[in-house]
Amino acid sequence: MSFGPSFGARLFEATAARGPLCAGIDPHAALLQAWGLSDDAAGLAEFTDRCVQAFAGHVAAVKPQVAFFERFGSAGYAVLERAIAALREAGTLVVADAKRGDIGSTMAGYASAWLDVSSPLCADAVTVSPYLGFGSLDPVLQAAEDAGAGVFVLAATSNPEGAQIQRAVAAGGRSVAQTMVDEAGARNAGAEPMGSLGVVVGATLTEAPDLAGLNGPILMPGVGAQGGTAEDVSRLAAGNLRAVLPSVSREILRAGPDVAALRVAAERSAEGFAFLLD
């Protein structure tokens, strides 16, 4: 079974219809407290339900941060399963921010969990870490291709520690980050309107890898509360504006807990990136 049209095609259509925005669901303890909710599975469920009501059918994509569900064990995963199902039923793409990375059968297990249409955790796309070598991603890349799903590979992240690996020079004189972008681009070659293998590039970076040959989506977190601006997104994406999917979490979520206020904040954020579609 598959999703039908490829993730790249579905994302292209979704951003055209609802604006280029990936709204984050990040139910960390401080936000639960700010919303007047308990830091337990019940508070998590209430927080998530309000986010789903606000975003489902109104934004192009939603990115749940898996760690904040995982910390509540099976009860947290049950909340995540319900959220993914409700968002996808409403036609909103779900990017599971799981950052999985392993080898062989273990990576295949992660692929089944997040991209197999029979899994209760099945999302439209998943984030992965390539730092066991890009080839270690093959099981999840194959699963995504079979299902018509998407994968976002960590390439150039905003955290200062990332530079230790990502800016290191690899074989051929390219940075490790550039190598990841180029590997993804090779797999997206010829895809229309774009491929389904994307990369993650932080919006707070001073410079990004060369993205000209990617032909795939660029998930750009760090916008808003973390300091990234629309101007940063434009600068880092260079000539690839149509492929950019800005990810905004805290700036939208601090408008909660009111559902209507959350929806307005998300819609305003999407409007701020309308220039990416020109």
Alpha carbon 4 to its chain centroid, in Å, reads 20
How far is 23 from 6, CA to CA, in rounded Å?
21
Helix intervals (H) in the chain: 7-18, 29-34, 41-55, 67-70, 73-89, 104-115, 138-147, 163-166, 176-188, 230-237, 250-253, 259-272
The kind and range of the H/E element at 156 are strand 150-156
Q: How far is CA 35 from the centre of its chain?
A: 24
Instruction: Give the catalytic positions in this structure.
Output: 99
- Exposed, middle or buried by CB within 10 Å (0-12, 13-18, 19+), for 238? exposed
Helix ranges restricted to H, 5-124: 7-18, 29-34, 41-55, 67-70, 73-89, 104-115
What span, in angstroms and rounded, lies between the C-alpha atoms of 83 and 120? Answer: 10
Q: Are the CB atoms for 59 and 21 separated by under 8 Å?
A: yes
Look up residue 110 and give its two tokens. 């992660």
Q: Are 244 and 224 in contact (CB under 8 A)?
A: no
| Cβ atoms 134, 183 nearer than 8 A | yes
Give SS3 for 273: coil
